Every structure is written in structure tokens, then in C-alpha cells.
Chains A and B, each alone.
Chain A
Amino acid sequence: MKYLLLHIGQYFIMIKKVFSLPEKKRIFLKQFNLELEKTGLNSLGIVTIISFFIGAVVSIQTAYNFDSPLYPKYLIGYATRESLILEFCPTMLALILAGKVGSNIASEIGSMRVTEQIDALEIMGVNSASFLILPKIIATVLFFPILIILSISIGLLGGWIGCQTSGITTADFLYGIKLDFNPFYVTYCLIKITVFAFIVSSVSSYFGYYTKGGALDVGKSSTKAVVYSSIIVLIFNFILTDLLLA
């Protein structure tokens, strides 16, 4: 309990340092562009592949479970859409990105810590937390929602391909994905992914920033970053769902 409180306290001290004004806007923008590429654009491939196959598998499994003639076929498209928007895309994607982006952030900042690069920044009088972490947080918070829109689109495409193997017509599938559409679900999905993006980037940065020791400890920090950000994402998934949908 003592260690948990210590970590929470240290995390908020770091966040306070992170959200102080950047010293030079030009340098911040340069770092921000680099982070957009590293955390956002470089994740496009994995997001596309995962979303496509999740969409396909969800539609096949739904079709398999709805094989009674009492259920209309368009329900498969409807269920696929709801599953992807409400849960699969935001939560699964956040967990996968916690693995990819989170471990990258923690190991990058951790390596900088153990090789004294962060000390060198501090000694120069640079706010190292703001310089290194703020661009990462802003880049993920702005880019993850774009990734999620892409993920939903690709997931639905995957769902349609999956339907073809289950004997559902394109017309039924398209009718299903348009049926009773509630735009708030997309808002809910975007709120969730924005919060998850903040959690993944800030928690991973925290474990990297407070790394002590050598190369082995950088690996440990990276693992901790993935484990803890995944757990916190799941806790906030429950809290946000309860607040926004219950």
C-alpha cells in the first residue's frame, strides 16, 4: 500500500512537471512531429491488420451463434458494428498499443535516464519531463482517436469479408450496420480512446522516467509500463462505461 501511494504521488509530481509551459515552442513542435510519426504513423500497420481480423472473426462468430432462422440475418452486421465501436476497437486497440507504443516510450525514456541524458537536460536547465514527455502525450492523445476511426472502418470491412464466408449477403450486412445507429456510441468510443491514450503514454513515461540502474532495469521498466498501463486501461474502461452508458 505504501509503495502504491508512493508511485501515485510520484506520478502526479511528474505530471505537474510535464504540463508546465514548453520553453521553446519551435523545439516542442519539432519533438511533437517526431512523436506523431513514432507513436501514431508507425502504428498504422498493426492497427490495420488487427482491426481487419477482429472484425472478420467477430462477424463469423456472431453468424455462428445466430444461426437460428428466427434471427434476421442483418443482426450480424448490427452486432458486429456494436461490438467493434463499443468495445473491441477502443479497448483491444488500447491494450495492443500499450504493448507497442507503451513499451517503446518506457524503454526510450528509460535508456535516456540510465545513460545520463536526462541528467544532462536537467543540468542545462531544461525541464526534462516537459521536453520529453509532453510531446508524447499530446501526440498519442491526438492521434489515437484517428487510429480508432480507421480501426472501426477496417474492422467493418473485415466483418463484411467474414460475412461472405458465413453465407450472409452484402445487402443484409450493410442494412445491419446502418440499423438503429446511435452516434453517441462513436462519441463514447472517442472519449474512451482519448483517456486510454493519456493513460498509456503517461504511465509508460512514468516507468521510463524513474528507471534506476542499467540495461536490465530498462527492460523491467518497459514490462512494468505495459502491465500497469493495461491494468489501468481496463479499470478506466469499467469506470467510463459505467459513467457514460449505465
Chain B
Amino acid sequence: MIKIENINKSFGDHDVLKNISFSFERGKTNLIIGESGSGKTTLLRILIGLHQIDSGTILYDDKKFNQLSIKEKRKLRQEIGVLFQRGALYDFMNVEENIMFPLTMFTEKSDEEKIYRVNDCLKRVNLENCNNLKISELSGGMIKRVSIARAIVMNPKYLLCDEPNSGLDPKTAIIIDNLIQEITQESNITTIVNTHDMNSVMEIGQKIAYINNGEISWTGNKEELLKSNNKQLNDFVFASELFKRLKKL
């Protein structure tokens, strides 16, 4: 479980996050939703330690993230799998080397063991026999899947995804969403997905936090979301013609 308590963050005079508290549950896909510029990417970057908070507490199970030493943070980060918006795959490595990289850096496994684990992860994301492909040869959906394979290769306890299906067609987006949910439930890990895609929300939203102007203004699940009376949330959810028509049904 990841718990955040009274998180505040500002850049200069601009308050990006205001007194945010939320609990991301284990075994569930926890979604942070909100409009562009609402502060959700900042929150995700805070959770993975790329931004420092002004005040508040971040708890990874019983560990206070902001009170850990650099060494302890590095150790904890090995338990966190991160899926970046654009994949962030190393373009000087091929698919196999990308996925194998965390194993080479942090484990003493033999080459055979590492290749076995890489193949296992590639199979999990339906990309068997793609080991030797260059990153430039991959499609958008394949890049996301290789990124997921790299994120899960160390058997993480936490999986953090920043807009995992941005730039993908609806069919591939659903495949990626379902893959994230399946991995979350199979491995019983804490997954946080940062998205503004309503299809994703309806597909995998088991626990949702809606951020508006740096504040959490609504929490619930995907069923409760459609029945909410929160005006800002309704404006966000029913912005598209498709969802407006759904509401009328």
C-alpha cells in the first residue's frame, strides 16, 4: 500500500498540490484522474522521488519515503516498477537488453537465468521472440509492452504508470489497460495509473482519485463515478459526446 498524507508542493508562487491525502491499495488499480495541468503528473513524480515535497508524508507500506537515506531510497526504488508516458526505453539497447538491464544492475543472476526471466516477461506481455528488435523498430503499443516487461522484471511491489495508453489506438489501449490490471491482481501489487482517458477509467478504475486544481475533489470507483454529483468531475467525465450520450441512456 502507498499512502500519502497532507502533501503540498509548489513551484515558485504556484501551488501545484494542496494538502493531498489518499491511500493507494494493494491488489487494485488505483487511478489518478484529472485534466491536463491539474497536478497528477507532479503527484506521480513526487511518488517516485523525482520531485521533492514541501510538506507531508509518503508511506510505502511502513517506510516513510521522505525520511529515507539516499541508500535506502535506492533500495526501495528497486521495488518500484515505472511505466513512463513515452516508454523511456534505452535506445542504445535492444528489447532484450532493455528488459535485462535492471537484472544486470541489481542481481547476481547468471546470463541463462536472466534470459529465462526476460523471456518470461516478454511472454507475459505477448511479445515472444522480439528479443533482438531495436527500439526504433517497435510500434507505439510494442514500446508500452516492452516498458511493462521492464517494469515487472524485478517483481516489483509497486507499479506506477504515467498515462500508459496515451497515443495508442482504442483497441491497443484496452490491451495495455487489461495487461496492467492482470499483472496487478496476479502479483498482488500496488498499482497507480495516472490518466485522463475515460476509456481507461471505465476499463480498470477500481479506486479513483480525481484531482482538480491541485486538490483531490472526489474519490470512489468507476461505478460511483458515473453517479457523482460533483460538478467539476461531471464536466470532466462527460466532456466527450460519447459519454454525454451514455449519460442520457
Knowing A125-B106, A126-B105, the reply to whether A117 touches B89 (Cβ < 8 A) is: yes
Given contacts A34-B92, A123-B50, A124-B105, contact A115 B86 (CB under 8 A): yes
Do A117 and B104 touch across chains, with their CB atoms under 8 A apart? no
Which residues of chain B come closer than 8 Å to A87, judged between CB atoms?
none
Contact yes or no, A116 B78, CB < 8 A: no
User: What chain A residues lie within 8 Å of B101 (beta carbons)?
Assistant: 124
B74 within 8 Å of A (CB atoms): yes
Chain B positions 11-67 with a Cβ under 8 Å from a chain A Cβ = 48-50
Q: How many contacts A-B (CB < 8 Å)?
A: 48
When chains A and B are docked, how far (Å) is the Cα of A167 from the Cα of B125?
Answer: 73
Interface size class of B (residues with CB under 8 A): 20 to 34
Give every chain A residue within 8 A of B105 (Cβ-Cβ): 23-24, 27, 124-126
In contact, B75 and A119 (Cβ under 8 angstroms): no
A244, CB-defined interface residue at 8 Å: no
Residue A179 at the B interface, CB < 8 A? no
Residues of A within 8 A of B48 (CB): 123
Tell whether A122 is near chain B: CB-to-CB under 8 Å.
yes
Instruction: Specify which chain A residues have a CB less than 8 angstroms from the CB of B80 in the assembled complex.
Output: 123
Q: Do A124 and B84 touch across chains, with their CB atoms under 8 A apart? A: no
Within 8 A of B (CB), among A17-75: 23-24, 26-27, 34
A124→B77 contact, CB < 8 A: yes
Within A118-156, which residues are at the interface with B (CB < 8 Å)? Answer: 119-120, 122-126
Q: Which of B49, B74, B88 contacts A115 (CB 8 A)?
A: B88
Q: Are B104 and A120 in contact (CB under 8 A)?
A: no
For residue B243, CB closer than 8 A to chain A, the reply is no
Decide if A117 touches B90 in the complex (CB within 8 Å). Answer: yes
Closest to B97 in A: A30
Most A CB within 10 A of own CB, among B85, B90, B105, B106: B105
Residues from chain A with Cβ under 8 Å of B140 in the complex:
none
- The answer to whether A125 and B74 have CB atoms under 8 Å apart is yes
Q: Mark B80-107, 1 if CB is under 8 A from A, else 0.
A: 1010111011111000000001101110
**A123/B77 in contact, CB under 8 A:** yes
A27 B84 Cβ-Cβ under 8 A: no
Neighbouring A residues of B49 by C-beta, 8 Å? 122-123
Instruction: Report the minimal beta-carbon distance from B164 to chain A, rounded to whole angstroms.
Output: 14
A117 to B92, CA, bound (A): 11
Q: List 17 A-B contacts (CB under 8 A).
A: A23-B105, A24-B104, A26-B104, A27-B104, A117-B88, A117-B89, A117-B91, A119-B50, A120-B82, A123-B50, A123-B77, A123-B80, A124-B77, A124-B101, A124-B102, A125-B78, A126-B105
5 nearest A-B pairs in the assembled complex, by CB-CB distance: A125-B74, A116-B88, A120-B88, A125-B77, A116-B84
Apart from the given pairs A120-B82, A120-B90, 7 other A-B contacts in the complex at a CB distance below 8 Å: A115-B86, A122-B49, A123-B82, A124-B77, A125-B78, A125-B106, A126-B105
